[in-house]
Amino acid sequence: MADAIAARLDEIQKRAAVTSREVAQLLNISPETVSRWRTGKTEPQPERRDSLLKLEWLVSEVSELYSPDETRLWLFSPHKLLKGDRPIDLIQSGAMDDVLTVISQIKDGAFV
């Protein structure tokens, strides 16, 4: 499973032009935890694994719209469709579904 987790971390980093530290920030975990996952020293608990998979999906969706650098900027910038909140802050607070809803609206061209 370590290889699969490492591959997902790599994919997030590549598609969103983020560092391991920023992945940790997005997942609200320590950079050391990301490192242990990547090297297979530990595996994510089910809740953290689900968050990782959801983050991978979210980054995949955003990266269909933007370049990696633009995806990173989108994640860390206030967004009017999120009432001025930054996607990263909502992701950290457990409101990733709200961010996914906005991404879907952007992809569908339904700017509310």
Residue-wise pLDDT for 60-105, tens only, equals 999 999 999 999 999 999 999 999 999 999 999 999 999 999 999 9
Q: Given this model, what pLDDT does residue 112 score?
A: 47
Q: What pTM was estimated for this model as a whole? A: 0.89
Task: Please give the Cα distance from 70 to 55 (Å, whole number).
Answer: 16
Give the residue numbers spanning the domain of 85. Answer: 2-108
Contact by Cβ (8 Å): 4, 38: no
Token pair listed for 6: 């490492």
At 2 the pLDDT is 77
Q: Which of 55, 67, 66, 64 is nearest to 23 (CA)?
A: 55
Number of domains in the chain: 1
Place of tokens 């089910």: 46
